Amino acid sequence: MTNHDPVAARKLLLTRRRLFGLSAGAIGGLLGRASLGSLLSADAARGASLGADLTSGAGPLGNLGIGGPHFPAKAKRVIYMHMEGGPSQLDLFDYKPGLRSRFDQDLPNSIRDGQRLTGMTSGQARFPVAPSMFRFSRYPNSQDGAWISELLPHTGSVARDLCVVRSMHTDAINHEPAITFFQTGNQVPGRPSFGSWMSYGLGNANENLPAFVVLISQGFGNMQALSERFWSSGFLNGEHQGCKIRTGDNPVLYLKDPAGVSRKDRRRMLDLVGALNEKEEARSFDPEIATRMAQYEMAYRMQMSVPDLVDFKDETEDTLAMYGPEVQKPGTFAANCLLARRLAERGVRFIQLYMRGWDAHSNLPKEIRDQTAAVDQPQAALIRDLDQRGLLDDTIVLWSGEFGRTVYSQGTLTETNYGRDHHPRAFSSWLAGGGFKRGIVHGETDDFGYNIARDPVSVHDLHATMLHQLGFDHERLTHRVQGRDFRLTDVEGTVQHSLLD
């Protein structure tokens, strides 16, 4: 018999809500024990829900709601330097001396093989081969050396630590979908970013700072839009979203107390709001309230930790010199590299650096000179600095654009000037640390650097491999929403063991 009395139905609904609320609390063993009255329960609730999601509960720790990876991790954190716009692999890492004899030759149709191009070059009558005008040098590594362009002498000098992948490929050919794909594993916006998955999977190792931090450096070449959604947490809880640290007086927006509000006042305000929130939580069992309280408290702690973080006063002369003169200018790639190290040593999970300006459709030689001048010394310094401090062993450093650039020239081709269009079929990235093999060059492209000849690595493969090093089976790091389990690698991805120690 169905009860159609609206009052009775309302009562039933309330009862059910409370039941769900209670069982959600009970899943997290910690919350069950914590008094609802303590702010701690907010943090504990989060940790507990992680544990419930991500540990099988078979072990003694799973029962206590302590989360963690699926298996012992080689790496604890990621520094991901995204070269926004797509750097030219042919002028940096994919050494093709043979092309020098094919200057301005038409790209054979058998190479392009009917590939759809972007609207920017599809109208071009010819696709003249533009060999790199930059000299390459061979730097010592664990194999017979890595050929790296004269544009990156510092990076070449740490080739011993690099795992250069010359056979990356992606599905997207334009910036927005390609960056979205690289960050979230899907070209269509709405999925959580890699950093958000990390925060979701491992929690925050330093509760005074966000688990996922984004640092942006303006470029010198052609820049494309950089959407905030690249570091969005998608359907994951908002606390997993990337936090952008800016330059200037206000590194994190809305963190400072308004003028005239003292820290004591802020504390009293938080205590009062916290007390009200606790009451509401006790009434409604809404987990969002615990999250909100935790966020308030974290912001309060960040008011102290962030100024200390962005102040380089305690760095030695040697360290500063290593990153180059630009390191003292906030917002430069050099400053952000040093900031990345400071975040890494404080336990921040995922540090995302964006370097804009690699989209060299024309005037590539000039633009790439400016771009590499900005990134070369700092990125090499970061590798060395991490290595010195013993952090490189458990930090994955990833350097990659969202795609590469074409071997044929876009627009004017002369000996000293050319442009290159987007090229998703083959491009170069490099990794360092975190259990990735030190000093190797992986994969190979054809004579034109256009297609992958050997050992292709897809974006999903890269994600799966990085997650593996972070202790996760990429097929099991999932979140259920709208009736299905989602994961960073969607339905693809193979761990590339040949890249790993």
Partner 1 sequence: MHFLKTIASFDLSAVDLAEAIGRLHPMLLHMPIGLIVALAILEFPHLFKKSAPVHDRPRTVLVTLLAITSMASATAGWLLHEGGGYGSPVEWHEWLGVGLAFLTVAIAISYWRKSETYTLGVLAAFILLIPTAHLGATLTHGDDFLTEPWEPAFAVKDDQPTEEVAEAKLVPQEETEQPLLKDEQVNPGEAADVTPAPLGDALVESTGSTFPVEEPGLTLTYADIAPILKSYCIKCHGTRKRKGDLALHDLGSIMAGGEHGEVLVPGDPLNSKLITTLSLPVDDDHHMPPEGKKQPSADAIAQLTLWVQGMDSAAFATATEQSAPVPAEPASTPEPSEEPAPEAPTLPTNTSFAPTAPNPDAIQALASRQVYVQALGEDSDLMGLNFTASSLGDETITSLLAPIAGLVGELCLYGKRPSDQDLLLLGSMPRLAHLDMRNTGGESMTLGSLRNSKSITSLNLAGTTLAAADWDALAEMKSLKRVHLWGTGISEDALQALSEQRPDLVILGLGIEGDAPIETEPEVDFTRFVPDAGSEEEALTEGEHTADAGPENATCPVSDKPVDPAFTVVHEGRTIGFCCANCPKSFLADPAKYLAILNKN
Beta bridge partners of 212: 350
Sign of CA dihedral 305, 311, 315, 321: positive
Question: Rule CB under 8 A: is residue 413 a binding residue for partner 1?
Answer: yes
Query: Between 13 and 32, how does the x/- string for binding to partner 1 read (CB under 8 A)?
Result: ----------------xx--
Non-local CB neighbours of 140 within 8 Å, separated by 6+ positions? 159, 160, 439
- Which listed range, 54-62, 165-173, 231-239, 275-283, lies at the site for partner 1 (CB under 8 A)? 54-62
Among 411, 451, 490, 492, contact with partner 1 (rule: CB under 8 A) = 411
Q: At closest approach, how far in Å is the CB of 444 from partner 1?
A: 18
Q: Where are the beta strands (DSSP E) in 77-194?
A: 77-83, 136-139, 146-149, 162-169
Sign of CA dihedral 442, 448, 454, 459: positive
* Footprint on residues 355-394 left by partner 1 (CB under 8 A): 380, 384, 387-390
* Footprint on residues 289-348 left by partner 1 (CB under 8 A): 301, 305, 345-347
Name the residue nearer to partner 1 (CB basis): 121 or 428: 121
Write the DSSP symbol of residue 436: B
- Which listed range, 64-72, 230-238, 288-296, 489-497, lies at the site for partner 1 (CB under 8 A)? 64-72
Name the residue nearer to partner 1 (CB basis): 47 or 86: 47
Among 18, 126, 263, 267, contact with partner 1 (rule: CB under 8 A) = 126
Name the residue nearer to partner 1 (CB basis): 89 or 204: 204
Nearest-5° Cα angle at 368, 365 to 374: 145
Tell me, what amino acid is at 186? N
Question: Rule CB under 8 A: is residue 247 a binding residue for partner 1?
Answer: no
* Footprint on residues 197-226 left by partner 1 (CB under 8 A): 202-209
**CA distances in angstroms from 72 to 47, 394, 469, 480, 500, listed in the order given:** 18, 12, 9, 24, 15
Name the residue nearer to partner 1 (CB basis): 328 or 388: 388
Among 114, 119, 123, 258, contact with partner 1 (rule: CB under 8 A) = 123
Tokens 């990153």 — which residue? 323
**CA distances in angstroms from 280 to 275, 290, 500, listed in the order given:** 9, 10, 49
* Tokens of residue 255, six digits: 């963190």
Name the residue nearer to partner 1 (CB basis): 1 or 125: 125
**Number of H-type helices and E-type strands within the chain:** 14, 17
**CA distances in angstroms from 105 to 42, 99, 408, listed in the order given:** 65, 9, 9
* Footprint on residues 260-299 left by partner 1 (CB under 8 A): none
Question: Rule CB under 8 A: is residue 160 a binding residue for partner 1?
Answer: yes
* Tokens of residue 95, six digits: 């050494």
Question: Rule CB under 8 A: is residue 34 a binding residue for partner 1?
Answer: yes
In this structure, the number of other CB atoms found within 10 A of the CB of residue 446 comes to 15
- Which listed range, 15-23, 35-43, 185-193, 214-222, lies at the site for partner 1 (CB under 8 A)? 35-43
| Pair 348, 77: CB distance under 8 Å | yes
Residues 455, 464: Cα–Cα separation, whole Å = 16
Name the residue nearer to partner 1 (CB basis): 170 or 204: 204
Question: Rule CB under 8 A: is residue 238 a binding residue for partner 1?
Answer: no
Question: Rule CB under 8 A: is residue 239 a binding residue for partner 1?
Answer: no
* Footprint on residues 468-487 left by partner 1 (CB under 8 A): 471
Q: At closest approach, how far in Å is the CB of 128 from partner 1?
A: 9
- Which listed range, 5-13, 77-85, 408-416, 459-467, lies at the site for partner 1 (CB under 8 A)? 408-416
DSSP of 23-72, one letter per residue?
Answer: HHHHHSHHHHHS-TTSTHHHHHHHHHHHHHHHS-S-SHHHHTT----SS-
Distance of CA 237 to the CA centre of its chain: 18
Name the residue nearer to partner 1 (CB basis): 356 or 361: 361
Name the residue nearer to partner 1 (CB basis): 206 or 295: 206
Q: At closest approach, how far in Å is the CB of 205 from partner 1?
A: 4
- Which listed range, 162-170, 265-273, 333-341, 413-421, lies at the site for partner 1 (CB under 8 A)? 413-421
Q: At closest approach, how far in Å is the CB of 343 from partner 1?
A: 11
Mutual orientation of helices 194-202 and 459-469 as an angle, nearest 10°? 20
Name the residue nearer to partner 1 (CB basis): 69 or 274: 69
Among 5, 11, 12, 98, contact with partner 1 (rule: CB under 8 A) = 98
Question: Rule CB under 8 A: is residue 74 a binding residue for partner 1?
Answer: no
